[in-house]
């Protein structure tokens, strides 16, 4: 028997091996197998099987799983994701079936016949090491033994043996504030659990939104809420894996790879805040879980409920095309909040910062709390010598440097370089250094110095991951919260005044999605913090009218029109083709090869670029616009060219 194996490496081809006939019952499509590869052993995925002996082929080491771990619909989903995101099958399967999913560690053998009594209650891992694998596989095929997991005590059955709810159900896009969304989610979950079905809920992160929803839902559905994801210990993750594979009436929360998790009797998928970039996987297989969730609901026939205070432009546009029920509870229109815009035409940030500090003090003196949003989390950026006027640039790529005072380091936003900060200009030796832009670290330092009698906390993604307590306990008096986008996930906090400092600078940070990002940040801050007053502190030269972003229907309509006129997503798809080489001389032939491959397919007129950038290495970036099915074969050919990377639907162009 010849087995074609997809390996979790960035190549599109499969590798062929032979397998003994006695392993035939345990080698199925997408089951995991251990194979020799060069001078090491890798775990791969069965992509195809054919009869024959295959002279010269190496033999697989062993099947890793007693039966396939994916259901047939999930296998279809994996194949769709491979095509849609132009990614090798083995790389996609690496996320659908993580290689660190050590199922055998938590499985034991249960004897069902006298012939297998010696194996009763033995850990599967021990059996595989000490006994003949063929004997165990024979016992499994004959029913002489079964497997059970030690975390839940349940039988471990083939994935295709788990029940399917076949619930059907409608697809809903719901816009509303956090309280109305919670009411919708709770009612929906209760309905499905009463029928003995399970619900999968995707969340953008574990530490902020994830922690909040886990706590709230656990209070409503005690003992039935589980988290699945790399953010929790492996043992807890595996308990969730086994439990939702067999149990009924469960809610499983997760992000990213959870969208591929086998769930018994899955009848509904909930996606919270689909617009968040935190969903996007940044390494290896770059995919967007909310998009995959829509397809999973389609292939499994489940209900789908997408809820947000500000859905993504793509979801808003596609909802009508894909038969969604659109529900808007008009929360943004009906909100009660006073808006105040402060402007300054000063050449530096000092005047605006002082004006904001005065406003903060007035609010605090009334016994009310304040939250300050700024788009940058560092101390300062666009660093310049005040004596020779020359900028501090990255020594690796000449990109803009950001200063982090807490660590005394400089980081490059272009190549991610990290350097020690030396308070001396390398051009003239000057020691007077200034920043053209400031971030949360600087604002925190300034506010602490100006208002020493009030508690101040900085809220950032790092703070949540480190488990830092950022909120004052109830009744402790007014406080000041300073932070970036994670402020928009503090659902347990109410502030009287929300202040946005440098919000208008986001127009230079997110490419064609800049206005959409500004909209999401503003609306989600209002949703989470429920302020009574909003204050905008803007540079007059960059002034942006907030009213435009607070009329949801008008904003979506205008943004969609601009994108359609420019032929940008969601009206077309984009694919970023990137060539990375250490030297320009080494990279140019690769760029030429890519362009020749596109020309042979008649696609050269659809490409923009290349644009060359110098980071740690030289990078050439090209954009291809169009339909993925049309480009799939061409892009796979390009994928196999060494040092070429392809990203579908890049978020910032």
Tell me, yes or no, whether 349 and 369 share the same domain. Answer: yes
Classify residue 152: in a domain, yes or no. Answer: no
What is the torsion angle, in degrees rounded to the nearest 10, for the CA atoms of residue 180, residue 309, residue 503 and residue 407?
A: 80
Q: How far apart are CA 418 and CA 420, in angstroms?
A: 7
Classify residue 119: in a domain, yes or no. Answer: no
Tell me, yes or no, whether 321 and 344 share the same domain. Answer: no
Classify residue 625: in a domain, yes or no. Answer: yes
Domain count, the chain: 4
Interval 432-454 mean pLDDT: 89
CATH number at residue 31: 3.40.1440
Classify residue 151: in a domain, yes or no. Answer: no
The single residue listed with the structure tokens 């609306």 is: 523
Residues 45/95, Cβ–Cβ less than 8 Å: no
> What number of other Cβ atoms are within 10 A of residue 254's Cβ?
26
User: Could you give the 3-state DSSP secondary structure of residue 2?
Assistant: strand
Which range is most confident: 159-173, 213-227, 270-284? 213-227
Tell me, yes or no, whether 387 and 448 share the same domain. Answer: yes
- Asked which of 53, 71, 89 is the last residue of a domain, the reply is 71
Give pLDDT tens digits for 78-95: 999 999 999 999 999 988
CA triple 529-531-534, angle to 5 deg: 120
Classify residue 118: in a domain, yes or no. Answer: no
CATH number at residue 633: 3.30.70.260
Interval 457-462 mean pLDDT: 78
The per-residue pLDDT of the chain, averaged, comes to 87
Classify residue 175: in a domain, yes or no. Answer: yes
Tell me, yes or no, whether 320 and 398 share the same domain. Answer: no
Sheet of strand 251-254, all strands in order from the earlier edge strand to the far edge: 225-228, 251-254, 198-202, 266-272, 303-308, 171-175, 325-328
Instruction: Reply yes or no on whether the pLDDT at 506 is more than 70.
Output: yes
Instruction: Reply yes or no on whether the pLDDT at 170 is more than 70.
Output: yes
Sheet of strand 32-37, all strands in order from the earlier edge strand to the far edge: 15-18, 2-6, 40-50, 32-37, 62-63
Tell me, yes or no, whether 343 and 449 share the same domain. Answer: yes
pLDDT, position 348: 63
Tell me, yes or no, whether 412 and 537 share the same domain. Answer: yes
Interval 350-370 mean pLDDT: 93
Interval 607-634 mean pLDDT: 82
Instruction: Reply yes or no on whether the pLDDT at 419 is more than 70.
Output: yes
Interval 323-350 mean pLDDT: 78
Tell me, yes or no, whether 545 and 590 share the same domain. Answer: no
Give pLDDT tens digits for 364-410: 999 999 999 999 888 888 788 877 888 888 877 777 788 888 888 88
Query: How confident is residue 164, by pLDDT bands cut at 50, 70 and 90?
Result: low
DSSP output for 306-372: EEESS--HHHHHHHHHTTPEEEE--HHHH---EEEEEEE--SSSHHHHHHHHHHHHHHHHTT--EEE
DSSP state of 424: S
Instruction: Reply yes or no on whether the pLDDT at 468 is more than 60.
Output: no
Tell me, yes or no, whether 438 and 475 share the same domain. Answer: yes
Instruction: Reply yes or no on whether the pLDDT at 584 is more than 70.
Output: yes
Residues 374/502, Cβ–Cβ less than 8 Å: yes
Q: What percent of the chain has pLDDT over 90?
A: 51
pLDDT, position 465: 53
DSSP state of 605: G
Paired residues of 538 in beta bridges: 343
pLDDT, position 160: 59
User: Could you give the 3-state DSSP secondary structure of residue 84?
Assistant: helix
Q: How far from chain centre, in Å, is Cα 404?
A: 25
Tell me, yes or no, whether 382 and 481 share the same domain. Answer: yes
CATH number at residue 236: 3.40.50.300
pLDDT, position 612: 83
Instruction: Reply yes or no on whether the pLDDT at 484 is more than 60.
Output: yes
Query: How confident is residue 461, by pLDDT bands cut at 50, 70 and 90?
Result: low
Least confident span in 52-66, 346-360, 454-468, 499-513: 454-468
For residue 351, give its domain range.
Answer: 334-558
pLDDT, position 448: 95
Classify residue 509: in a domain, yes or no. Answer: yes
- Asked which of 308, 329, 350 is the last residue of a domain, the reply is 329
Contacts of 177 (CB under 8 A, 6+ apart): 309, 329, 331, 527
Tell me, yes or no, whether 496 and 609 share the same domain. Answer: no
Query: How confident is residue 346, by pLDDT bands cut at 50, 70 and 90?
Result: low
Query: How confident is residue 425, by pLDDT bands cut at 50, 70 and 90?
Result: confident
Paired residues of 304 in beta bridges: 171, 269
Interval 502-531 mean pLDDT: 92
What is the torsion angle, in degrees rounded to the nearest 10, for the CA atoms of residue 486, residue 487, residue 493 and residue 498?
A: -170
pLDDT, position 25: 76
Classify residue 449: in a domain, yes or no. Answer: yes
- Asked which of 329, 353, 368 is the last residue of a domain, the reply is 329
pLDDT, position 57: 92
Give pLDDT tens digits for 287-324: 999 999 999 999 999 999 999 999 999 999 988 777 89
pLDDT, position 398: 75
Give pLDDT tens digits for 507-519: 888 789 999 999 9
Single pTM value for the model: 0.91
Residues 444/378, Cβ–Cβ less than 8 Å: no
Give the residue, 614 or 186, on which the prediction is more confident: 186
Tell me, yes or no, whether 476 and 536 share the same domain. Answer: yes
Instruction: Reply yes or no on whether the pLDDT at 161 is more than 80.
Output: no
pLDDT, position 474: 42
Interval 336-361 mean pLDDT: 81
Tell me, yes or no, whether 67 and 201 share the same domain. Answer: no
pLDDT, position 332: 84
> What number of other Cβ atoms are within 10 A of residue 275's Cβ?
24
Distances (CA, A) of 84 to 88, 113, 573, 640: 11, 48, 10, 17
């Amino acid at each position: 028997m010849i087995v074609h194996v997809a390996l979790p490496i960035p190549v599109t081809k499969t590798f062929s091996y032979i397998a003994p006939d006695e392993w035939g019952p345990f080698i199925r499509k997408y089951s995991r197998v251990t194979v020799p590869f060069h001078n090491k052993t890798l775990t791969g995925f069965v992509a195809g099987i054919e009869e024959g002996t295959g002279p010269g082929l190496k033999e697989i080491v062993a099947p890793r799983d007693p039966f396939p771990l994916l259901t047939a619909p999930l296998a279809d989903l994996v194949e769709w994701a491979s095509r849609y995101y132009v990614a090798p099958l083995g790389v996609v399967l690496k996320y659908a079936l993580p290689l660190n999913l050590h199922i055998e560690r938590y499985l034991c053998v249960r004897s069902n016949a006298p012939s297998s009594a010696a194996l009763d209650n033995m850990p599967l891992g021990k059996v595989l090491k000490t006994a003949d694998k063929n004997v165990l596989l024979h016992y499994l095929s004959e029913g002489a033994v079964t497997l059970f997991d030690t975390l839940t005590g349940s039988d471990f059955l083939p994935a295709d043996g788990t029940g399917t709810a076949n619930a059907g159900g409608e697809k809903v896009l719901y816009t509303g504030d956090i309280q109305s969304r919670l009411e919708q989610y709770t009612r929906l979950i209760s309905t499905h659990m009463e029928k003995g079905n399970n619900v999968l809920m995707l969340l953008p992160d574990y530490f902020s939104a994830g922690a909040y929803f886990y706590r709230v839902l656990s209070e409503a559905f005690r003992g039935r809420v589980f988290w699945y994801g790399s953010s929790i210990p492996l043992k807890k993750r595996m308990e969730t894996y086994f439990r939702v594979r067999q149990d009924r009436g469960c809610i499983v929360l997760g992000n990213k790879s959870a969208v591929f998790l086998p769930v018994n009797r899955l009848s509904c998928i909930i996606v919270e805040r689909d617009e968040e970039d935190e969903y996007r996987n940044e390494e290896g297989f770059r995919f967007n879980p909310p998009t995959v969730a829509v397809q999973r609901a389609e292939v499994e026939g489940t209900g789908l409920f997408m809820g947000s205070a500000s859905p993504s432009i793509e979801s808003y546009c596609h909802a009508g095309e894909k038969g969604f029920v659109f529900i808007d509870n008009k929360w943004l229109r009906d909100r009660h909040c006073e808006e105040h815009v402060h402007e300054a035409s000063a050449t530096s940030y000092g005047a605006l910062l002082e004006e904001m500090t005065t406003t903060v003090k007035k609010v605090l003196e009334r016994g009310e709390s304040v939250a300050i949003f700024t788009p940058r989390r560092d101390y300062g950026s666009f660093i310049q010598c005040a004596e020779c006027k020359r900028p501090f640039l990255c020594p690796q790529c000449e990109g803009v440097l950001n200063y982090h005072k807490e660590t005394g380091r400089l980081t490059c936003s272009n190549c991610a370089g990290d350097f020690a900060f030396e308070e001396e200009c390398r051009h003239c030796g000057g020691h007077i250094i200034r920043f053209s832009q400031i971030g949360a670290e600087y604002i925190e330092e300034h506010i602490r110095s100006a208002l020493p009698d009030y508690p101040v906390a900085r809220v950032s993604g790092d703070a949540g991951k480190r488990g830092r307590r950022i909120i004052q306990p109830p009744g402790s008096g007014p406080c000041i919260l300073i932070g970036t986008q994670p402020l928009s996930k503090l659902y347990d906090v109410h502030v009287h005044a929300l202040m946005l400092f440098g919000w208008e600078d986001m127009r230079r940070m997110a490419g064609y999605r800049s206005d959409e990002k500004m909209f999401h940040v503003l609306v989600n801050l209002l949703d989470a913090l429920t302020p009574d007053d909003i204050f905008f502190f803007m540079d007059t030269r960059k002034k942006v009218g907030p009213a435009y972003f607070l009329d949801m229907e008008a904003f979506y309509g205008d943004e969609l029109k601009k994108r359609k006129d420019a032929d940008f997503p969601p009206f077309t798809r984009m694919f970023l083709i990137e060539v990375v080489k250490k030297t320009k001389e080494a990279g140019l032939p690769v760029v030429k090869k890519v362009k020749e491959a596109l020309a042979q397919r008649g696609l050269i007129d659809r490409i923009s670029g290349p644009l060359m950038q110098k980071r740690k290495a030289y990078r050439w970036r090209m954009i291809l616009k169009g339909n993925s099915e049309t480009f799939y074969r061409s892009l796979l050919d390009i994928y196999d060219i060494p040092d070429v990377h392809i990203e579908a639907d890049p978020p910032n162009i």
